[in-house]
Amino acid sequence: MWSHASGSPWLAETDYVGRPKLRLFCLPYAGGGAAIYRGWSREFPSTIDVRAVRLPGREQRAAEPAWTNLEQVATALARALLPLLDQPFAFFGHSMGGAIAYEVARVLARDHGRMASGFMASACRAPQLPSSRPWLHPLPDRKLLDELRRLGGTAPSVLDNAELMQLVLPTLRADLQLIETYVAARPSSLDCPIVAFSGLRDFEVGRDQIAAWRQVGNGDFRLHVVEGDHFFINSERERLISLAATEAERWIA
């Protein structure tokens, strides 16, 4: 999946060839990069072209400052995806990635007349709901590191590496600001099926907050509960990929 250039800084390299029946754009959680989705394409049917989104401030875009305004990210990403919308398309986003994906789907529908065939939100509160958690992005570095340890999404070896964390923290803090300050302006429905994934032990985003995605779809809504905490995308990787691939196949005409 990762051997050839994608032609856009917003998308990871891919070796997918052929003419897909569906393109699935996958967006990362706060602090994450396109590498989260490494290997996903090999687990999906050959009719589905899995494309991992690379946001500014990480990986090959590490020299760019991370953005802190979700609507601005969504507008720029939507424009970048337009050349790849020659086939039906869908979205998968985990945590912060789900919120960005939702806004991208709205921009594509509203400004470009392009409607997604399906949408998957993983460990992400529905857009019409405000955040119920205290903000982390203004915390001093030491307290922020303590919260990251509690959340469990960052490897201890990374958190214990002071030099590495000096490089990582600005992007992570920007991502947290982006998602913590985001509230959808006049939330609108996506005219497509919506699938939501919830972790059985996710104490960061409640099951009811995830189930509320039902209210912004076309009535075709499915909720899957998997083992794991907020970062079940890592701990339950095989199970999640299997469910996501099965759901995506439903959207192929």
Q: What is the CATH number of domain 22-250?
A: 3.40.50.1820
25 within 8 A of 166, measured Cβ to Cβ: no
Q: What is the mean pLDDT of residues 191-214?
A: 95
pLDDT at 110: 94
- pTM for the full predicted model: 0.92
Which of these, 138, 124, 81, 128, lies nearest to 105 by C-alpha position? 81
Give the confidence band of 153 by pLDDT, cuts at 50, 70, 90.
low
Domain boundaries, the chain: 22-250
176 within 8 A of 203, measured Cβ to Cβ: no
Residue carrying structure tokens 């499915």: 222
95 tagged catalytic: yes
Q: What is the mean pLDDT of residues 107-127?
A: 96
CA–CA distances in Å: residue 25 to residues 13, 120, 148, 247, 253: 13, 10, 27, 14, 18
pLDDT at 251: 97
Determine the length of the chain: 253
User: In the predicted model, is pLDDT for residue 167 greater than 60?
Assistant: yes
> What is the C-alpha separation between 205 and 126, in angstroms, rounded?
10
DSSP 24: E
Element of type H or E holding 196? strand 194-199
Which of these, 175, 235, 157, lies nearest to 202 by C-alpha position? 235
Catalytic residue among 95, 117, 122, 198: 95
